[in-house]
Amino acid sequence: MKNPDILTCFQCGTCHASCPSGKYTSLNIRKIVRDSVKKDVSDQPEIWMCTTCYDCQERCPRGIKVTDAVLALRSEAVKKGKILPVHRNVCNFLIETGQSIPLDDKHRDMRKKLGLRIDEASRKKAHKEVKALLGSTGFEELIKK
């Protein structure tokens, strides 16, 4: 990955020591940072184990935007069509409804009981515009890959 920031990393490991996910998974963020300079890490499942908590980025003594780097690495993987099925589902919800977590019957009922209304016309218009934008940015194509 072309990120001049990352070249200043001196492999101190502060990032990994701060990482809540690394305690339970094979994610070693120090290693990802190192590897990403030399090679393509799109296939490493670990890039998807980060909760984007920003602890590593906050604590890196070199001020490297570590979490932002993870996001960039993920984007590179996505461009190559490496998308986890569950994430693809969430994206499809957005394409199909304008929302990432659509309303189901159980929660429609809850809303009714609380006296909360749903502005269907407003949701429809939102969806139409979101869909147009997702087409325009090429996101729909990206997800189909």
Partner 1 sequence: MRKLSLFTGCLIPNRYPGIEKATMLVLERIGIKCSELKEAACCPAPGIYRSFDNITWLTLASRNLVLAEEKGTDILTICNGCFSSLMDANNILKTDAGLRNEVNAHLQKIGKEYRGTIEVRHIIEFLHTDIGVNKLGDAIEKPLEIRAAVHYGCHLLKPTRERKLGSAQFPVFFDELVETTGAKSVPYEGKTSCCGAGGGVRSAMLETSFKMTEYKLDRIQKAGVDCIIDACPFCHLQYDAGQIELEKSGKDYDIPVLHFTQLLGLALGFTPDELGLHLNEIVNLKFEEKIAQIQKWY
Kindly list the residues in this chain that would bind partner 1 in the complex (CB under 8 A): 20-21, 23-25, 48-55, 57-58, 67, 70-71, 74-75, 78, 83-84, 86-87, 90-91, 94, 98-104, 107, 110-111, 114-116, 118-119, 122, 125-127, 129-130, 132-134, 136-139, 142
Query: Which CB sits closer to partner 1, 9 or 143?
Result: 143
Q: For residue 44, what are the CA distances in angstroms to 35, 73, 87?
A: 10, 10, 16
Alpha carbon distance 67, 90 (integer Å): 22
Specify burial of residue 17 (Cβ count, 10 A radius: 0-12, 13-18, 19+). middle
Amino acid identity, position 99: Q
Q: Site for ligand SF4 (CB under 6 A): which residue of 31, 47, 67, 91?
A: 67
- Sites of contact with ligand SF4 (CB under 6 A): 9-15, 18-22, 29-30, 33, 50-56, 60-62, 64, 66-67, 70
